[in-house]
Structure 1
Amino acid sequence: MKHLFDFRQIALFVFGLVLFAGCDEKLDEMNINPYGIEPSNANPNLLMPTVLSSAAQDYVGLGYNDLAGAVQHTQKNGWYSGHNYYDWTNKNWTGWYDILRTNELMIRRGEDLENEFFQGIGLTMKSFVFGNIADLWGDAPYTDALKGDQGGEEFQYPQFDSQEVIYDGVISDLQQAVQILGSASSDGVTSGNDLYYGGNTQNWQRFANSLLLRYYMRLSEKKPDVARAGVEAIYSSGIYIEDPSQDATLDYTGGANDQWLSRHVRLNPDDFQRYQACQTFIDQLTGTNDPRLPVWFDSVRVQWVADESLDVAAEEFIRANGEPLSVETYPYDDFVELYSDVKFTRHYNPNLADYNDDLYVGLPPAITVPESYNGNPSPGQGTQNQHVSQLAHIYSTEGSPGDILKARIISAAEVSFIFAEAALKGWNVGDAEAHYNRAIEQSLETWNRADAYEDFISQPEVSFNNTLEQIMEQKWVASWTAAAESYADFRRTGFPDLEAGPLSPQPEVAIRFQYGNDEYNNNSASIQAALDGLEVTQYSGNFGADSQWSKPWLYQGTNVPF
């Protein structure tokens, strides 16, 4: 019986091997996708919208999330550690490199098809994405990046290039893009898939040159001769974004992946209520009677009124047009709609309590318990604070809210501010005041406030005073929802003069992202050189070199922003 049992076991084992081998062959056949397209046959028209939409969405995501907190456009009253306190530990750049891989395939297919349009926009978008990576992290894989399909360990685990090398590469690629786009045709291009310009090669050339202006100005302190020659040449050419209609933007589409509205605001009321105005920004806007203020922010739902006759710090009820209400204690959205023409107030005794009784009130940066600020009667993460300004209602409107809400990559206003700064340096680009005034006019036009230009520009606080500080302050205002650029300007110039709040781990605003866990886990040998290239500062803290307060190459040897 024992021998029979052994024989049966062996027979079953052999049968299993045969069966497994047969199944394995069948699985190989089943894993071949008969509908799959080889990369060598990919249509660049179908790659283009993925690149353009992803890049714009990621950029505007930076512009109203953590970097909006860093430049103090906004603060959050819930889930706020990254936004308010620079808690940026281990930021991965996977999404940016995903865009770059798709974009690289688009460039290759453009070369295969001898189509200059796809080559030119591919180089432009490659520069835009790599520029952002260098801006935010510093050194990064560049020369050996995007070559994983070529095999070899040097491509699987690419070395980091210095921030300087990346910036030089960005400028070189943009110069090439401008040249290619100058003779490119849109033949063979599906215009609807070009989400920025509908296949208009001239606007793409303007876009590429405008990005060049951005990165020449980045290098204006490190490589002033290169920057000056580049900016002057582009100004002389006249090929740059000079009207808001030429801005590089992605329209609001109503899709589930739209950053600013659908995913983060419109379909999530709690998230909408987390975004509050920052008091730093409110002070700037109210101090200059900026007509863009009500476009971007709502007034407080209930305004404090000083009343020294009270024998308590504050009333526990609100008033409608001065009369105490007994129907509701605090007006939430549905209640406010019933009284759309009513002025809601709440009285307090300024001798017993310290509240901000302005019509527009922001959260101070990096404060303790922001959800309770200014006497919020119903504190809690993400709850309505009737005494602090939130985003304007256009950011929570169902359906398409109109043409002014777009993911804006670069604008005519930014270009004019760049020329204003360049003129202030003495470069041959025209008159600084004319460029400054034009930049403000373009920004107001972008936000449907062009009719307020004359009154706004005539104010003493706004009228040109020939200082870099004023140019940077107004550029910072105009960068609303594109905070990545004002963040770069702040680190490069020290303006606007931002002060870190009391809960910031360091007394200065953070200046970079830390490298992500993916790099430490999978490319640790290569990352070391990047860490060695960072300048540890007095604010780097316990993080060592890879700190939000360590200086990459661009700021080394300077005293800005600290």
Structure 2
Amino acid sequence: MKYQQYLGFALAGVVALGTVGCKDFLDVNANPNNPETVPPSVLLTATAIQTGFSNGNEINRITSLLVQHIAGAGNQAAAQDVYNIRGGLDNQWQGELYAGSLEDAQKLIEISTRLNSPAYAGIGKLLKAYNFAMTTDLWGDIPYSQALMGLDQLKPRFDKQEDIYKGADGIQSLDALVKEGLADLLKTSDLMPSAADDPIYRGDLVKWAQMGNTLRLKLANTMSRREPALAATIINEVVNAKSAILTNANDFEVPFGGAVGNRNPIFDFGDATFGQRPLDLFLSQRLLDSMRVKNDPRLPVYFTTTPTPTATVNTTGTLTTLPGATAGTFLTFTGFQNGANVATPVSANRSRYNTYIAGASGAGPIRLLTNVQRLFIMAESALVLKTATDGGTVQSLYQAAIRASMVKAGISDAAVTTYFTNNPSVAILSGSDTRKLNQIMTQKWISWVGNGYEAYNDYRRTGYPRLTLALNAQGDDPNVLPKRFVYPASELSGNATNAPNPAPGTTVPVWWDID
């Protein structure tokens, strides 16, 4: 599918929408460049693409470093790798989220509602809920119920994360917002999304409904340690209705193109031809060790080999034989220790993201909500909360999740079966429920390479997989892996009346994190 023509247009629209002030959004003049006059079709494209960009850009880099999918070897990535994540987040908070995907979603809802087009408004509410979930999961208490109101509320209050998740007087819960969006998708709509303006599902509202229900699963799973009964109720409702993303083909993922301005942000950060930093990020040794010991066939899909497969193994590399290697050849991977103080690492001896994660020339998707995720949530919740399994078992759901992850990465069914046969300690859940949970979450962690935000949520929520602190750790406390992002200085000063004071540091857990 070729999205590049409207991807470029959408990204141009995102810049325009994300950089004007609140006054511009409420200008009463009939200005053709004012977002009030932008049709829902353009806003849908812009909001979808900006959502993928917000997730895949620096938010993804920081969280992927924290969960040790990757390691930082230079510049800002090296500092973030040792937990120096204070400052530098104004662009993500102010530009990519509040004045980006969130404001785009809000305008999509408002304009679509005025035009009697609930199909667009419903999608806008689903995207708004996803972006607010990402914001509160990373920062905790945030402007929510009074946010996105323009001149009507220039200094919105900070709502408690508990109220954002559960709802309170005057505060609609995220789950209720998603359900409202799902209800809108079923209404008669004067304007309908199409393949021309919907880069994700090409106007298929059934698939958008599946996305919304998978989002409900994600939200319930996130608060499951804090509110197990409420989480179980929501999970049972979605599982029994068979209404979520049920196949890899229907994953909620945002496509990008190979042209400058359209490219996957993960690719752009590491592309030397684009003037970026190809020496900053490498495969984490922690992840390499976890995958290599079991000859995980996703390893060469996720990361590049070093050097190109050859019968002669570089003495500084690591010998690894994996499915797909031809007779007499080896796939060699070399990681980088998180926090290692190496002034000039040799890039030729380090593995980096492969095309499955970053895309060939940047034309790869940012994967946000997936069938794999659904299966892992069902396995975990069936184990811990005793929720519905849709006829399966914890064991069968767990294996189905691993298989779906590998098939998504291009591994054949036969190769997956061989992997299970060769690795019973991975394929078969065993021991106590605690040990089984560790197995489930470790495999989910591996499946989330490319989406650090979701892996970071899972790690904070469960404590799995067990991660060793980065070498030479610094940050607020070198003995604690950061539990949240800190509020940008611009928000603390610009909304001082409402911002938490004192603002919590990175060692303070968010509401749903009780471990």
Superposition pairs of residues 420-435 of structure 1, within 5 angstroms = 420-425=379-384, 426-429=386-389, 430-435=392-397
Aligned mate of 2:216, from 208, 212, 227: 212
Rounded Cα–Cα distance in structure 1 between residues aligned with 2:127 and 2:284: 32
- Assess if the C-alpha contact under 8 Å between 2:140 and 2:161 holds in 1: yes
Residue 61 (structure 2) pairs with residue 65 (structure 1) = yes
Counterpart in 2 of 1:52? 48
Confirm or deny that 1:251 pairs with 2:255.
yes
Alignment pair present for 1:502 and 2:460: no
Give, in whole Å, the separation in 2 of the partners of 1:63 and 1:492.
18
The reply to whether residue 267 of structure 1 matches residue 273 of structure 2 is yes
Work out the CA distance in 1 between the residues paired with 2:189 and 2:195.
12
Tell me, yes or no, if the aligned pair for 1:184 and 1:201 is still in contact at 8 Å: no
1:266 deviates by 6.0
Deviation larger for 441-450 or 201-210: 441-450
Shift of 1:342: 6.5
Asked if the contact 1:141/1:158 (under 8 Å) is kept, the reply is yes
Question: Aligned pair 1:361/2:319, yes or no?
Answer: no
Aligned residue in 2 for 1:526: 498
Q: 1:260: how far off?
A: 2.0
**The one of 400, 417, 431 aligned to 1:454:** 417
What SS does the corresponding residue of 2:349 show, helix, strand or coil? Answer: coil
Give the % identical residues. Answer: 23
> Cα gap change, 1:186/1:411 in structure 2, threshold over 3 Å: closer, same or farther?
farther
* Contact 1:68-1:83 at 8 Å conserved across structures: no
- The Cα offsets for residues 118-138 of structure 1, whole Å up to 9 and x where unpaired, read as 111111011001101110000
Change (3 A) 1:216 1:396: closer
1:255 Cα shift?
Answer: 3.6
1:194 maps onto 2:198 in alignment: yes
Contact 1:55 1:129 in 2 (8 A): yes
Q: Choose from 485, 504, 507 the match for 1:549.
A: 507
Say if 1:127 and 1:82 are closer, same or farther in 2 by CA, change over 3 A: farther
Q: Is the 8 A contact 2:269 2:278 kept in 1?
A: no
Instruction: Give how far 1:39 is off.
Output: 4.6
Question: 2-side partners of 1:52 and 1:360: how far apart?
Answer: 35
Structure 1 residue 40, shift from structure 2 partner: 4.3
Shift of 1:394: 6.6
Cα separation, partners in 2 of 1:465 and 1:188, compared to 1, 3 Å: closer
Q: Check whether the contact 2:178–2:212 (CA below 8 A) recurs between aligned residues.
A: yes
Q: How does 1:157-556 map to 2 (within 5 A)?
A: 157-168=155-166, 169-183=173-187, 187-257=191-261, 258=263, 259-262=265-268, 264-265=270-271, 267-268=273-274, 271-301=277-307, 343=312, 345-346=314-315, 359-369=332-342, 371=343, 380=344, 384-392=346-354, 399=361, 405-425=364-384, 426-429=386-389, 430-451=392-413, 452-458=415-421, 459-466=423-430, 467-505=436-474, 506-528=478-500, 531=502, 546-555=504-513
Aligned 8 A contact 1:266 1:396 in 2: no
Could you tell me how far apart the structure 2 residues matched to 1:63 and 1:298 are?
Answer: 23
Could you give the per-residue CA deviations for residues 12-42 of structure 1, whole angstroms, max 9, x where no partner exists? xxxxxxxxxxxxxxxxxxx999862555433
SS at 1:409 equivalent: strand
Q: Aligned to 1:503, what secondary structure does the other structure show?
A: coil
Which residue of 1 is the match for residue 103 of structure 2?
A: 101
Please state whether the residue corresponding to 1:462 is helix, strand or coil: helix
Which of 248-257 and 447-456 deviates more? Answer: 248-257
Task: State whether residues 273 and 390 of structure 1, in contact with CA within 8 Å, keep that contact through their aligned partners in structure 2.
Answer: no
Structure 1 CA distance, aligned partners of 2:359 and 2:444?
27
Count of aligned positions:
451
In 2, the alpha carbon distance for the partners of 1:41 and 1:268 equals: 34
CA gap of 1:184–1:260, structure 2 versus 1, over 3 A, is farther
Q: Over residues 493-527 of structure 1, what are the superposed CA-to-partner deviations in whole Å (9 max), with x where a residue is unaligned?
A: 00011121231122221110000011122111211
Gap change, CA 1:32 and 1:39, over 3 Å in 2: closer
- Cα offset, 1:241, TM superposition: 0.4
SS at match of 2:253: strand
- The 1:262/1:417 distance shift into structure 2, 3 A limit, reads same
Shift of the alpha carbon at 1:70? Answer: 0.4
Q: Distance in 1 between matches of 2:300 and 2:355?
A: 10
Shift of 1:190: 3.7
Q: CA separation of 1:396/1:122 partners in 2, compared to 1, >3 Å: closer, same or farther?
A: closer
The answer on whether the counterparts of 1:489 and 1:495 sit within 8 Å (CA) in structure 2 is yes
- CA distance in structure 1 between the partners assigned to 2:165 and 2:36 by the alignment: 30
1:553 & 1:489 partners in 2: Cα distance? Answer: 14
> 1:397 offset after TM fit, Å?
7.6
The aligned residue for residue 9 of structure 1 is none
Q: Distance in 2 between matches of 1:173 and 1:385?
A: 46
Q: 1:474 and 1:389 mapped to 2: Cα distance?
A: 21
Matched, 1:156 2:154: yes
Which residue of structure 1 lines up, in the alignment, with residue 327 of structure 2?
none
Partner of 1:112: 114
**Structure 1 residues 270, 289: closer, same or farther in 2, change over 3 A?**
same
**Aligned with 1:140 (options 139, 142, 150):** 142
Indicate if the aligned counterparts of 1:499 and 1:508 stay in contact, CA closer than 8 A.
no
Amino acid at match of 1:553: W
User: What SS does structure 1 have at the residue aligned with 2:485?
Assistant: coil
Larger Rg: 1
User: 1:527/1:482 Cα in 2 relative to 1: closer, same or farther (>3 Å)?
Assistant: same
Q: How far did 1:87 drift?
A: 1.2
In the aligned structure 2, how far is the partner of 1:512 from the partner of 1:472?
20
User: SS state of the match for residue 442, structure 2?
Assistant: helix
Mean alpha-carbon deviation: is it higher for 283-292 or for 39-48?
39-48
Amino acid at match of 1:427: T
Aligned to 1:226, the other structure's residue is in SS state helix
1:387 Cα shift?
Answer: 3.4
Equivalent residues of 1:63, 1:482 under 8 A apart: no
